Each structure stands twice: as structure tokens, then as C-alpha cells.
Amino acid sequence: MANLLFYENPVALNKVDHKDIKIKPMVNNYTFAAKTNSVILAGVEFTEAAKEYPIVFAQSGERIVPVALLGLRNEENLFVLEDGSWDAKYVPAFVRRYPFVLAETGEDGSKRVVCIDENFDGFSKSDGEPLFEDDEPTPILQQALDFLDEYQKQYMRTELFVKRLKENDLLMSLNAKIDMTDGAQFALTGLQAVDEKKLLAMSDEKALEFFRSGELAWVYCHLMSMGSMGGMVQRIGKLTGVDEPAEPEKSTTKRSRGRPKK
């Protein structure tokens, strides 16, 4: 799963090439994400996201990241309706930052540059609000830049959270088999979840670290979000005309100690 997902033509933003570009407000139109079945979440989002999406952990390159499941099958987003609207109260920040994004550059990926998706339908040279005025970012662009900056800070904090989970060997493999009442079957594999038994068995010192950092709340939001899996199956049922879809059958397999497999 790549950090650029639905960005079709991301290019570095600059005041020369994009001085005449204007952007039209994106009013509940998320067709660009219609085939994205999961997006990365920052830990600070867990509280709201857990109410509507299953939150799991997945491999992204060499990293393990928390993601919100938006669909249970490839190229499926159960929250984008035919008219492009988002059918949930909370829209993940990963989606809301579009068409802007911070992209990693340099051989070691340590540098970041602000990019825009030039294929975004909301860009125009005649309609909308300009991105630059007198070589300076306009309020709408500055707002986007501030959003990207805060997103990056929260993403880095979330990386430390995942690191703490791995150091305490709290992640285990998660598999789910979904049986629909029409006979269709599919499975979710390659995902991970927090092992609550190991969490409860931690020393008081380690548990206090999670508590003091605020990350213990994130862990339990993640665990509670698993209850949203049934709602995902119901959404599939509505799309396929199956009135009473079966609940997903979940199974977990504990990981061996050590670094996650790449």
C-alpha cells in the first residue's frame, strides 16, 4: 500500500508552474478514492475513526502502519457512493488532504516536498480560488500547507506508537473469513492486530508508559473498532442485494518474536 494511492499525477508545487492555477472547493466529492480499500490513519484519529471503520495494522513498504479499512476486497471503497459523496461522519485525514500531499524525496527519503495531483478535477485556470498571489500562498493554500504539516507531525507520533507495540511484541497476525448468505466467500489476510492477552500481561512499568503517552486509549479504540467489521459486511450485502449477510469469522495467529517479516 503506497502513500500516494489515488494520486494519479503528483508533481512538486511551485509558484512558477502553478501561479495561474485555481482550485474549486471540493464539496463531498470523493470519486478519486472510490477504488481505495484502506488508508493510513494517525493515532489521534482513532477515537473518531473507530466508530465507523475497522482499524488494523498493515505492511506499507518496510513499515507497519495503522489503517482504516474502507472495503474488504481489492479496489472497493464501501463509503464512496455513486454520486461521489462519503457515506460516513468521519473522513480520514489521509483522504481530506487530497489533492495535496507531502512526498518523500532524496536517496534516503529524509526530505519532503509539497506536491499536488495535477489530474485533480478541481483545478482550473478560470474558476475557483488561486493558489498564489504575488508569489505568496493564498489563505486556501496556506490552510492546506498547515494541514500537511500537522498531519506529518501526527504521522511521526504514530510511527513511535507502532514502534512501541513492536518492541513489546504486542502485534499478532489477524485473518478473517467472510461467508455471505449467497454462498460467496472471501478472506482478509496479511493484517495485524494488538494481542490483548499480551497487553494485559505487560509489566506495570510498561503499561504505565502506554497510559502516560495517551496511546493506551489508541489501543482500545483499535480493539473496539473490530466490531465495525460486521457493518462492512452489511454494506456489501446492500450492494450485492444480499439482505442478511453473514458475520465475518475472525481468527488470530500469534506472531513469533522479532522483527515483522517484510
Cβ–Cβ < 8 Å for 253, 172: yes
Q: Which of 87-91, 131-135, 197-201 has the lowest mean pLDDT?
A: 131-135
Q: Is residue 262 part of a domain?
A: no
Instruction: Please indicate, yes or no, if residue 241 is contained in any of the structural domains.
Output: yes
The structure's pTM equals 0.84
* Start-to-end C-alpha separation, the chain: 13
Domains contained in the chain, number: 1
- Mean pLDDT value of segment 84-100: 95
Asked whether residue 3 is assigned to any structural domain, the reply reads no
Lowest model confidence (mean pLDDT) among 38-42, 190-194, 232-236: 232-236
Joined together, the cell numbers standing for residue 184 give 460467496
103 belongs to a structural domain: yes
Query: Does 217 score more than 90 pLDDT?
Result: yes
Q: Looking at residue 1, what is its pLDDT?
A: 35
Host domain of residue 144: 10-253
What pLDDT digit, counting tens, does each position of 108-156 carry?
Answer: 556 789 999 999 988 988 889 999 998 899 999 999 999 999 999 999 9
Contacts (Cβ under 8 Å, ≥6 apart) of 22 = 123, 124, 125, 126, 127, 128, 129, 130, 131
Residue 259 inside a domain? The answer is: no
Would you state the cell numbers that stand for residue 162, as one nine-digit string?
507502532
* Nearest by Cα to 70 from 100, 43, 95, 103: 95
The reported pLDDT for the residue numbered 107 is 61
Half-sphere exposure of 36 (CA within 13 A, CB side): 22
- Tell me, yes or no, whether 59 lies in a domain: yes
At residue 248 the predicted structure's pLDDT band, cuts being 50, 70 and 90, is low
- Is pLDDT at 195 greater than 90 in this prediction? yes
The C-alpha cell that represents 165 in the structure block = 507495540
- pLDDT (0 to 100) of residue 142: 94
Residue 221 covered by a domain: yes
Residue 165 lies in a domain: yes
